[in-house]
Chain A
Amino acid sequence: MDKNSRIKYLGISIILAILLFSCKGYKIVTVKSLNINAENKIEEYNFNELNLDAYRDSIAKEMDEIINHSDVIMNVGCPEGLLGNFITDLSQAYVKREVKNTKYTPDFCVLNNGGFRNSLNKGPIRIRDIFEIMPFDNYLVILEIEGDIMLKLLNYIQEKSFSSHQRKSGVPLSGMRIKLTGNKINRCFINTKEFNPKTKYKILTTNYLANGGDGMSFLKDCQILFNTKLLLRDIIISYVREIGDDNINVNAQLDGRIQINQ
């Protein structure tokens, strides 16, 4: 190393040392915080450089089509909710109609509230609204469920029915009625017959839950009887559109399918 490069290296290392030192030693002395809501008086930035309008227009045509009207606001609920009742009922009915082979006819349908990402608003229903409720490309499958797994499912439903976590409570189901007393399952009917642990049932659910999603790991042990390959979102859109074509508005009721007796 010649003299000059030595000087150079010395210079650089002094700078590095200074830079290091200039950072070193700084400690937090005050912290303030205030989170700010994105209220509607705040202007929406246009991102002209990205030509956002082109993106929006290309989906708007498809998404803004009005396919029916809803008489009520439908939310998820616990132990039951209008949105869960509506979607499980229509899924069960739709699949029963579409899947002709009776050996696959589902006995009941179980979905999950965490999968419904929005509520259904009262008034006109656009395709966009259904996309916002069910954005996932989940499809419906029919599983065969045996007694021991069925008991795990019932325990799961019981726990979720008493959970207070806003987004994680309640289990949407159709074709099943359950009575819970205290923290115990008192009675369970599959359609009109009392649940029998020795019977194998056919359950309609999504591929997400069949893969053990949302804590339903026990469903992974069930045999998949039939993959409908129907996207849940497509089924909701078809059903809502169909009844709209028959001039029937969308509606749903709470009917005590999961009852809690204190």
Chain B
Amino acid sequence: MEESKLTNRRDFTKKIIFAGLSIPLLNSFSFIKNGNKKLTILHTNDIHSHIDSFPSNHSRYSGLGGLRRIASMVKKIKSSQKNVILLDAGDIFQGTPYFNKYKGSLEFKIMSEMGYAASTMGNHDFDNGIDGFKNVIHHANFPFLCSNYDFSETVLNGKTQKFLIKEINNIKIGIFGIGIKLDGLVSISSFKKTKYLDPLKTANYWAQELKSKHQCNLVICLSHLGYNYESDQISDLKLAKASKNIDVIIGGHTHTFLDKAQNINNSENKNVIVNQAGWGALALGRIDIEFSKKNKIVNELSMNKNFKKNYAKI
């Protein structure tokens, strides 16, 4: 009896070792075809409760946009791309009667169904106060990444995360979130004892942690700082330039429509990809990244000509 248990255990151990060995074996098989790994980042920002499309009498966006439409687009892309991560950069709340009536719970339920991996908090997510946010957060099955809001003396203590690590197709992705300064934008009665930490320092700190300590292959910053300002206010472009170890900044707040992600040189002259997808669920940001163990970097963003051809029509 004792003996057979031991044998079983030995078998089990052997199986584990075999299983372990078979992983690089499988990897090397795929290497024969193409050792590169692909990842598609899909993202939204400033959804502002636009679940349905804009009303037919809207002066600019009649019949366009809406989270329900974004959901169809995500489903379609997921049907042809295996490795997809869906992210949001904040300001989910406020903009249609859905929010006034259901306080954000419906937006969270829909986004949970859609398979969002993470979001961060925008200034409007404080519109019903941090208490209002806390009351509906349980409807979201994805985490809110707030790295530079210190909620320790508020009701949100322990309800948000500083960072998230996701592994998709053997690519380790580290994600954190940077919010905008609340003072002057959100009334103090709403953010209460939230402490604001320096966005650049915080971003560089978590990027370093994720890149070096956690060995992430890709570091993504979800930012609600805004794309760019004439003033010296910190923005995604300024953050990108002064950053280290951030690969991608997914932005929001300024409702900026970009045709495609932009390349920015960081403080070490390395490339940072910065993107934003308008607002009101009018656009879905898409970034396709290919990873390789070889170091030949071909960043097609800077030599983009026939891009539209590379994408199936949606």
Contact = CB atoms under 8 A, between A and B. Distances in A.
Q: Which of under 10, 10 to 19, 20 to 34, or 35 or more describes the interface residues of A?
A: 35 or more
Given A49-B113, A167-B255, A38 B64 contact: yes
Interface string A21-45: 1111111111111111111101111
B185 A42 contact: no
A37 B71 CA distance: 13
Interface string B250-270: 000001011111000000000
Q: Which secondary structure characterizes the binding site on chain A?
A: mixed
Interface in A90-130: 117-119, 121-124, 128-129
Interface in A7-64: 7-8, 11-12, 14-15, 18-40, 42-47, 49-50, 52, 55-56, 58-59, 63
A31 B300 contact: yes
B146 to A, nearest CB: 21
B9 interface: yes
A30 B294 CA distance: 12
A86 B171 CA distance: 54
5 contacts: A42-B73, A52-B106, A73-B59, A123-B57, A167-B255
Nearest to A32: B288
Interface in A50-88: 50, 52, 55-56, 58-59, 63, 73, 75
Contacts of B96: 131-132, 135
Given A35-B259, A42-B72, A119-B59, A29 B298 contact: yes
B282 interface: yes
Contact of B97 (A25, A26, A131, A215): A131
Interface stretch (A206-214, A237-245, A246-254): A206-214
Contacts of A11: 13, 16-17, 20
B281 to A, nearest CB: 6
Contact of B184 (A4, A40, A46, A217): A217
Contact of A46 (B68, B172, B300): B68
A189 interface: no
B198 to A, nearest CB: 20
A121 B49 CA distance: 20
B171 to A, nearest CB: 6
B282 A37 contact: yes
